[in-house]
Amino acid sequence: MERYDSSQLRDYSSLFSRNSVQEWMQGDFSSIQVKVKRYDNTWFANRDASYLDYLKYVYGVLESHYQNEYILKNTFLNEWLIKELGELNSKLYSEFRVGDAIADLAMFNGTSKVFEIKTEFDSDRRLKLQLENYQRAFNKVFLIIPSSKIKLYERYDKNAGIILFDSNSEDSFEIYREARIQSKVDPSAIMNILHTSEYKEIVQDYFDNLPAMTSFSQFNICSSLIQEMPNSVLNEYFINQMKKRGSKNALSRRYFREFNQICLAMKMDEHDRRRMLQVLKSRIEE
């Protein structure tokens, strides 16, 4: 098996960053060209290769040798979550803010689920705070961790489920501990997630009218009213609002699966995804 040093693998992984994607969309492929010249002139020789071909090659190297956050997120998305997206009106988010934390992945269908990913390279320094934030707003909380790290993470919040990842296993992901369902959500946590139009819509729909308010008083007025709602009803309203937010997830079960996490993180719709792939099919310039 070919060996790669850690600096090269880190360099490769930068190609799947937000900044790199924004460059491609503007027709700037300099970040890719630098990597080809630095590491892969031999690979490139005698190939009529596109930027898309090269990124798929780099992804394969990272998948085999460097399980960073992008690879782990994308693999979990492709092997687990994309199946659930087949459910009616399911919605998935990447980097979802919850209080003082940002969740790696959040899914809304019949329930709300949040997934916190810890790779081999991550610390557990902020995990206690992260889990406390997630438990306030979500029905199920999951940790996704390497199998080798189970002793470190199983001592954390027993309500949180644990999904183990092992790239050497035929089934990459395995449930180690199921998440306990949190039926009660914190109205103040929900209020801080909702956009203004969303919490006003909830109040209007549940109470059949929207009280007089100004831009300065609307948050406090709506917050007080939402506190009065039955908790199970608020949870349902919250999930429905999150399912309506933004455009439909532009993900594919079969084609160019290497880019699903990019599409999710960049909030691409189908038009954006097709445009990105078309741009990447350009031939690599020597």
Q: What is the mean pLDDT of residues 244-252?
A: 82
Phi, psi at residue 103, to the nearest 5°? Answer: -80, 145
Q: Number of folded domains in the chain? A: 3
**Per-residue model confidence as pLDDT tens digits over 94-149:** 999 999 899 999 999 889 999 999 988 888 989 999 999 999 999 999 999 999 99
In a domain, 41, yes or no: yes
Q: What pLDDT is attached to residue 1?
A: 53
One domain for residues 168 and 90: yes
One domain for residues 113 and 173: yes
One domain for residues 19 and 102: no
Q: What pLDDT is attached to residue 81?
A: 83
pTM of the shown model: 0.90
Q: Cα separation of 226 and 196, whole Å? A: 13
Range of the structural domain that residue 53 is part of: 6-70+250-280
**Per-residue model confidence as pLDDT tens digits over 177-191:** 999 999 899 999 999
Give the list of residues 6+ apart from residue 4 with CB closer than 8 angstroms, or none: 12, 61, 65, 66
CB 106 within 8 A of CB 93: yes
Amino acid type, 157: D
Q: Indicate the average pLDDT of the chain.
A: 90
Helix (H/G/I), strand (E/B), else coil: 79: helix
- Any idea what the CATH number is for the domain that residue 153 is in? 3.40.1350
One domain for residues 109 and 150: yes
